[in-house]
Amino acid sequence: MTLAANASVVPVPPTDCLRLGVLASGRGTNLQALLDRTAAHQVPAQVVAVVSNRRDALALERAQHAEVPAAVFARADFSSRPEQERAIVEFLREQQVDLVVLAGYVPVIGPTLLDAYRHRIVNIHPSLLPAFGGTLHAQADALHHGVKVTGCTVHFVTTDVDGGPIVLQRTVPVLENDTEESLAARILVEEHAALPEAIRLIAAGRVQIVGHRTRILPAG
């Protein structure tokens, strides 16, 4: 899932309303940030589908409250990962999703979903990638390594886990008295700003993937 060095693509043409399919495994706070920002017309997008791999995910309750179609695709209900992802793709296509957003979705995305939404899947990760990628413990790793600055990254998803082209990043200082919990909480605040901003740029057609990088095109 790579581009030639001189290849470029604008993932989504400019649109007045980008249709989002959000995948979440847990609390769904980034989903809520998107629901709030889109409802306030701060982002030209609409969450039209929510998917989870866990029946107890709070994200499903958030979707229900917002009257957004939601479905659970638990791995145990399918004979294989490709079968599970084919079902997810069918659901997303039924809702006419333009862009897939991984917002705390734990499973690694496989080729079935990647191929169906090529260059149209983004993820939010709680570190300044490429630092502390490929882990569910990025905040703890940042503290363990003694970094002075960390943050969050919105990036396109490829077969290289947490290694796809970066859309934007926001920084957070690491304080001397930080715990994993306090650092994670401050990073999450930045996630709630970064993800809607990245989607706003994508909806405006201002994000261009060039090889392994992105270019943010000027407005207008």
Q: How large is the angle between the packed helices 180-203 and 138-145, nearest 10 degrees?
A: 120
The residues that are catalytic are 125
Strand ranges across the sheet with 70-72:
70-72, 45-52, 18-23, 99-102, 121-125, 149-156, 166-173
- Are residues 113 and 24 part of one domain? yes
Q: Give the count of beta carbons closer than 10 Å to the beta carbon of residue 61.
A: 13
Write out the residue range of the structural domain in which residue 33 sits.
16-118
- Are residues 176 and 83 part of one domain? no
Query: Which pLDDT value is given to residue 153?
Result: 98
Give the SS3 label for residue 118: coil
Name the maximum alpha-carbon separation found in the chain: 49
Instruction: Output the CA–CA distances (angstroms, integers) from residue 90 to 20, 95, 146, 147, in the order listed.
Output: 15, 9, 44, 42
User: What DSSP string runs through 33-89?
Assistant: HHHHHHHTTSSSEEEEEEEES-TT-HHHHHHHHTT--EEE--GGGSSSHHHHHHHHH
Give domain status of residue 3, yes or no: no
- Are residues 87 and 25 part of one domain? yes
- Are residues 133 and 40 part of one domain? no
The total of structural domains in the chain comes to 2
- Are residues 184 and 114 part of one domain? no
Cα(165)–Cα(163) distance, integer angstroms:
7
- Are residues 188 and 137 part of one domain? yes
DSSP code for 91:
H
Strand runs (DSSP E) across 86-148, as ranges?
99-102, 121-125
Give domain status of residue 34, yes or no: yes
Give domain status of residue 162, yes or no: no
Give domain status of residue 106, yes or no: yes
CATH of the domain at 94: 3.40.50.170
Question: Reduced to 3 DSSP states, what percent helix, strand and coil does the chain have, rounded to the nearest 5?
Answer: 35, 25, 45
Q: 196: cis peptide before it, omega within 30°?
A: no
Contact (Cβ atoms closer than 8 angstroms) between residue 200 and residue 12: no
CA 74-79-85 angle, to 5 degrees, is: 55
pLDDT values of the chain reduced to their tens digit, one per residue, 220 residues: 444 455 799 999 899 999 999 999 999 999 999 999 999 999 999 999 999 999 999 999 999 999 999 999 999 999 999 999 999 999 999 999 999 999 999 999 999 999 999 999 999 999 999 999 999 999 999 999 999 999 999 999 999 999 999 999 999 999 999 999 999 999 999 999 999 999 999 999 999 999 999 999 999 7
